[in-house]
Amino acid sequence: MKLKPLCLCLSLGLVVPAAALASSHREAPFISHMPQVDASDFYMFMSYEPQRSGYVTLLANYNPLQGPTGGPNFFPLSDQAAYDINVDNDADGKPDLTFRFQFKHQYKDLKVYGGTGTYTSVPLLNIGPVSATDQSALNRIDTFTVSVRKGHGKFMPVETNAGSKTTFTKPVDNIGTKSISDYDMYANSYVYDVSVPGCSMPGRVFVGQRKDGFVVNVGEVFDLVNTNPLGPRDGAQNALTSKNVTTLGLEMPASCLQHSKSNHIIGGWTAASIPQTRVLNKYGEGEHPANHSKWTQVSRLGMPLVNELVIGLKDKDKFNNSMPCNDAQFLSYVTKPSLPVLLNALFGTEIPHTPRNDLVTVFLTGVPGLNKPANVKPSEELRLNTSIAPTAPVEQNDLGVLGGDLAGFPNGRRPYDDVVDIELRVAEGALCGVAGNCGAQTADPNHGAPFTDGTRSPGATMATEHVTGDENAADTYLDHFPYLMPPLPGSPNGSNGVAAN
């Protein structure tokens, strides 16, 4: 796979990529072999932490399905990859700002006395307690850099406010409470205030392991929806409640992400790339190529739930390798989506008429009157209207716009938004009234009125993924950056550790 150097964006009436119903956890054949560069979730929302008014939070999750007890190496990100958070602020499907994260691993080769005057290298990640102020017992230090590029310009380093350092430290994964007694306090020490080139106000950066905030009974979904989607929304346990993930967190002033003061709508996505060529030495360790400008994109994620259950198997790798402005090539997967047909066959739910103009507004252009920018070129991105004030955590509705909360999905995406339930309802026509009533053949003009939560017509059935969390593990979220909960520890782990492996 080779990434096209230029985006040839076609101006079509309907340019539709995809919507799906499970988060992008190893969603394509090629990326399933490279979990370190597999993007699983992307969030973009107005910060609702106190005193952070006017800021946008962007979170990109990678290396999904981490079991808390996954030692001794745990889950470092690749030091031979480029992890990007892209912002499109003029609605052309191309990145206007790219924030690039790159990692480096320093192995310290800690040793213990082996007797008779010899010392032996230890096989473990740490040989004693670890804290933010004392990492002497840690056998591998993970650091990273962040750089920003405007358009096709040069990447410029992001620096810490204090000391102007360009290298940041990632907290080690949550080995267990004996190694790190208070992981939350430990990880908070690695939230950095940063100075970003081109922005007069400071931002914040965090990279580290978090509890996976996505909610889905993923096993049942892949087994021909082996559940009762017509039952209550809270009728099943979250299959990811015992999993961790690695989060790249960025918080920036909205004004520094916008194209202009009058253009409040931005689009965003994350992508990961690896070198086109790579040399392995005899021990299997990667050698960095001399030319780092030749990258191949292998992972891409903007709107949630894109690549797993709608894009045809033959095109999944192509989607991960593509740019938003080239999404015309995936037109047929959403203009005539397969998911409503499958749900109808399994559960008798209604099948909206095609072409699905309503899905164009949600996944490609933004919803009119909500987050559709002027002169938009259809492309799959997560879109956020930064002029809509955030909703306080206690008042957020997990159905987002469908539940009357305009600060929620599909106007950006917050951790609390139940995007599986929302997209199931949208796939079945919950927003048909937004554009074309899901095709000119629709008899009922009120069929699927926008921003409603309920059945679409008398006697109709609507499927719901119906997982809202786990009452025992409390799938909750922080009210401050980086918003996702601290990761589950490797020990003591109890049932979580058993379930995770």
Q: Are 464 and 430 in contact (CB under 8 A)?
A: no
Question: What pLDDT does residue 439 have?
Answer: 43
The answer to the question of residue 21 being in a domain is no
Going by C-beta distance under 8 Å and a sequence separation of 6 or more, which residues neighbour residue 303?
Answer: 19, 362, 363, 380, 381, 382, 410
Give the Cβ contact number of residue 235 at 10 Å: 16
Q: How far apart are CA 87 and CA 208, in angstroms?
A: 22
Residue 204's beta-bridge partner residues? 193, 251
Going by C-beta distance under 8 Å and a sequence separation of 6 or more, which residues neighbour residue 61?
Answer: 39, 40, 41, 42, 210, 212, 214, 245, 246, 247, 248
Q: Are 450 and 431 in contact (CB under 8 A)?
A: yes
Question: What pLDDT does residue 57 have?
Answer: 98
Q: HEC string of 306-355? A: CCCCCCCHHHHHHHHCCCHHHHHHHCHHHHCCCHHHHHHHHHCCCCCCCC
The answer to the question of residue 160 being in a domain is yes
Q: Which two tokens stand for residue 93?
A: 């499907």
In this structure, what are the phi and psi dihedrals at residue 213, rounded to the nearest 5 degrees? -90, -5
Q: Are 446 and 439 in contact (CB under 8 A)?
A: no
Give the residue from 68, 81, 5 showing the smallest Cα distance to 299.
81
Q: Which value, to the nearest 10 degrees, does the dihedral of the CA atoms of residues 219, 223, 357, 29 take?
A: 70
The answer to the question of residue 22 being in a domain is no
Question: What pLDDT does residue 231 have?
Answer: 63
Place of tokens 């380093």: 157
Going by C-beta distance under 8 Å and a sequence separation of 6 or more, which residues neighbour residue 380?
Answer: 17, 18, 269, 302, 303, 306, 324, 327, 363, 364
Going by C-beta distance under 8 Å and a sequence separation of 6 or more, which residues neighbour residue 272?
Answer: 37, 38, 39, 62, 81, 82, 83, 84, 297, 298, 299
User: Containing domain of residue 475, as a range?
Assistant: 31-500
The answer to the question of residue 292 being in a domain is yes
- Radius of gyration over alpha carbons of the chain, in Å? 23
Question: What pLDDT does residue 422 have?
Answer: 86
The answer to the question of residue 124 being in a domain is yes
DSSP state, residue 401: G
Q: Which two tokens stand for residue 208?
A: 């580290």
DSSP 194-224: EE-TT-SS-EEEEEEEEE------HHHHHTT
DSSP state, residue 226: -
Question: What pLDDT does residue 162 have?
Answer: 78
pLDDT tens sequence for the chain (501 residues): 333 334 544 333 333 233 333 345 666 566 677 889 999 999 999 999 999 999 999 999 999 999 999 989 999 999 999 999 999 999 999 999 999 999 999 999 999 998 888 999 999 999 999 999 999 999 999 999 999 999 999 999 999 987 789 999 999 999 999 999 999 999 999 999 999 999 999 999 999 999 998 887 776 766 766 666 666 666 667 778 889 999 999 999 999 999 987 889 999 999 999 998 877 765 555 555 445 558 999 999 998 876 776 777 888 888 888 899 988 887 777 777 777 788 788 877 778 888 887 888 888 899 999 999 999 998 999 999 999 999 999 999 999 999 899 999 999 999 999 888 888 888 778 877 654 446 433 333 333 333 333 333 333 344 444 455 444 334 589 999 999 999 999 998 765 544 444
Question: What pLDDT does residue 363 have?
Answer: 82
Q: Are 67 and 239 in contact (CB under 8 A)?
A: no
- pTM of the predicted model, to two decimals? 0.87
The answer to the question of residue 232 being in a domain is yes
Q: How far apart are CA 45 and CA 383, in angstroms?
A: 9
Q: Are 470 and 488 in contact (CB under 8 A)?
A: no
The answer to the question of residue 351 being in a domain is yes
Question: What pLDDT does residue 202 have?
Answer: 96
Question: What pLDDT does residue 354 have?
Answer: 81
Q: Are 252 and 56 in contact (CB under 8 A)?
A: yes
Q: Which two tokens stand for residue 244?
A: 């961790």
| Pairing label, strands 82-88, 55-66 | unpaired
How many domains, the chain?
Answer: 1
The alpha carbon of residue 185 and the mean position of all alpha carbons in its chain are separated, in whole angstroms, by 24
The answer to the question of residue 9 being in a domain is no
